[in-house]
Amino acid sequence: MAKGLIIVESPAKASTISKFLQHQYIIKASMGHVRDLPQKEMGVDVNNHFKAKYVVDPKKKKVIDELKKAAESADTIYFASDHDREGEAIAWHLATVLKKEIQGKPIYRITFNEITKSAIVQSLENPGQIDQNKVDSQQARRILDRIVGYTVSPVLWKILTKDLSAGRVQSVALRLICEREEEIEKFVPTEYWSIDGVFHKGKLPSFKTTLEKWDGKKAEIIDEKKALEMVAALKKGSPILKSIDKSSRKVEPGPSFITSTIQQEASKVLGFPAKKTMKLAQELYEGVEVKGDRVGLISYMRTDSLRISEEAITACRNLISERYGKDQVAAKPRHFANKNNAQDAHEAIRPTDPFRTPEQLATSLSKDQLKLYTLIWQRFVATQMKAMTVATTKVSVELGKALFVATGSHITDEGFKKVYPHVSISEGESIHADYREGDQLEIDNFIPLQHFTKPPARYTEAALIKELESKGIGRPSTYVAILSTIQDRQYVILIAKQFQPTDLGKKVNGFLVQQFDKLFNVKFTAEMENELDDIEYGKQKWEDVLNDYYQVLTDLMGKVNIKETKSNMKEDTDIPCSVCGTGHMQIKWGRKGQFLSCSNFPTCKHLENFTRGADGKIIITPKETLDEACPNCGSPLAIKQGRFGKFIACTNYPKCKYTRPITLEVTCPECGQGKLTEKKSKKGRKFYSCSRYPECKFITNYLPVAVKCPECGNPYMEEHTSKKEGTFKKCPKCGKEVF
């Protein structure tokens, strides 16, 4: 008997849904996208309405064959990929790939905000169709990114070095980091001082205040001399407690998480990188085993909407009433307003069932899954609890021309803080309740303190995501990819959890800002994000948006002078070339970073590696000269670093091009003639092969050591490492291990 076929994205999601539907449907996973633009060509015909050339992922052949087989036997097809632009595009691509197998059959698109039985059943009872506007929006974004990459990146290769890339959004993120670094580098600290005054009355405890006004104006103390003069004057006066102001305020809970805020809060509270947070959230959304049942624990995690369903709010309020008491429930249901550009396709991130508490799930989740679920659960439950109450006391002390102020706060009713403890208030100074206005005070001490203004802080992952979101750059599904890309390209590095641009990143950014400022700036990129949204809402045609963008790009490309720009990107030094004697060394870029090259290149091909001292001065890395002469010209031989590792070469290069590999004292076990030598793969991984390659193709991934095997007498052993045993030697012939 034929069944309906439901196609989701992941096996975990398929497994969860299958249990809910009690195997009444065939459920298959597409494993994400099944086709995309080709890897080795642009794949976009810019002269033919930006027609895209999509190709099937060869790694997905087996998956597609299974989907085709399932589609042939099914009576109805349901595309159930994620409810966003990417998910819509996946459904569209699947419909195209399976066109023959699904022809003439009912075809539906189903979506759900959470993977629960009720949500799945409801989606099947109310199926829809693939939203072509969403598909067009995703296509426009994908094609835009491809055009930028394939147009601008080759220019970077010609000017700096190969394997660089420029991205429509990633380049703006890099720009923000570089501009922040420029602010820090240009920052000049300014000295200023403050004065704390400590007072008391009788046996009452002292309290500390800070000088706020002098002679009726804001106190501004520029140096130590001025501070000491003021302290001397203050000591002559008699302080009076001029006022005591007591107040109470309500602190409301924040809304449930959206994609950006969960990444920020998980970073702050749990120390999780954004990528890890989203991976864990995906697992919680798709479902985990809980007491024999597979359950989706949270709603969809890629969202910018603060909306919560009325059913979820009611469940939350019932939980609070049962668990914490009726008096802890907010007086009326609390709702949060969305920002104007929020898509509102989903709810905010919340537990699918608030009665499924973190304590109940402790044995079902991994340590990190539990931490993230707890954070999401706490934040959601807090939204429907009563506000926290904070009492504040502010006192002012008058002393001659000076007015000192102190503020103290304390929580009188925890409210939502009972469930969401990750909020804090600045307690300030504790002021005893027996102090009264008009009290004559005694002086304990005056404390002059030196300060310096500080530069702006570097971006953390959380801070950068917050900045991108506030400026309208990127969307919930793209933040992790943006951060990953600029790190993978080695444009930025994380030091003490803060982004710093590398020299390469600064160079790339400098070029992009100089030549393509109109494209790679915050305002233009944010406007483009809004236009992509407009395509989804049917307000714009995707081809028009692409055409306008491409016109700007081609106009800017036409103004780039490769030769002139490349010349400007070189950095001259006053270091003379030690080979030709007439040129000087210039800083250039290669795949492994900066190096020194003779200005007479290509006539003189002399190169040098270098580092920089603390003062930025260039230090040429010394060569390891060997006590051995070149067999060709008699010049000394030296160890040099190449793309695939170290090797021996003549110091008279380029006149003499003698080279040979550095060999280990181990004879090749395969040919018995060559020596084993260390090499590196293109990805930087070490391996060991015969010096007679390609005649002998022996290879091993383990370091050969000239130690005879005590068991079988094999002339060498290999070095291995394990977490349990550490480093040990193992014979490749008989397997004998020596620790």
Catalytic residues: 300
Contact assessment for residue 50 and residue 543, using Cβ atoms and an 8 Å cutoff: yes
Structure tokens at 449: 């303190």
Contact assessment for residue 633 and residue 653, using Cβ atoms and an 8 Å cutoff: no
Structure tokens at 149: 């990459």
Contact assessment for residue 30 and residue 8, using Cβ atoms and an 8 Å cutoff: yes
How far apart are alpha carbons 690 and 695 in whole angstroms? Answer: 9
Task: Find the helix or strand (DSSP H, E) in which 678 lies.
Answer: strand 675-680
Task: Find the helix or strand (DSSP H, E) in which 718 lies.
Answer: strand 717-722
CB atoms within 10 A of CB 529: 19
How far apart are alpha carbons 314 and 320 in whole angstroms? Answer: 10
Q: Is 417 left (phi over 0), alpha (psi -120 to 50) or beta?
A: alpha
**Rounded to 10 degrees, what is the CA torsion of 147, 149, 150, 153?**
140
Contact assessment for residue 502 and residue 492, using Cβ atoms and an 8 Å cutoff: yes
- Kindly provide the b/e burial profile for residues 703-736, where b requires at least 16 CB atoms within 10 angstroms of the residue's own CB: bbeebebeeeebebbbeeeeeeeeeebbbeeeee
Closest CA to 350 of 314, 403, 402: 314
| Bridge pairing between strands 4-8 and 26-29 | parallel
Give 425's DSSP letter.
Answer: -
Helical pair 132-159 and 522-536, crossing angle rounded to 10 deg: 150
How far apart are alpha carbons 280 and 296 in whole angstroms? Answer: 12
Structure tokens at 119: 């949500």
How far apart are alpha carbons 257 and 263 in whole angstroms? Answer: 9
**Phi, psi angle pair for 170, to nearest 5°:** -60, -35
How far apart are alpha carbons 246 and 433 in whole angstroms? Answer: 10
How far apart are alpha carbons 74 and 462 in whole angstroms? Answer: 46
What are the distances in angstroms from CA 154 to CA 139, 487, 559, 563?
Answer: 23, 20, 15, 14
Contact assessment for residue 679 and residue 687, using Cβ atoms and an 8 Å cutoff: yes
The radius of gyration of the chain's CA atoms, rounded to the nearest angstrom, is 34
Q: Is 581 left (phi over 0), alpha (psi -120 to 50) or beta?
A: left
Tell me how far apart the terminal alpha carbons of the chain are, to the nearest angstrom: 63
Give 572-579 contacts, CB < 8 A, sequence gap 24+: 572/599, 573/618, 575/618, 575/620, 577/604, 577/606, 578/606, 579/604, 579/606, 579/653, 579/654
Closest CA to 5 of 449, 439, 21, 557: 21
Structure tokens at 649: 């070469």
Amino acid at position 514, single letter: Q
How far apart are alpha carbons 558 and 326 in whole angstroms? Answer: 69
DSSP notation for 269-291? II---HHHHHHHHHHHHH-EEET
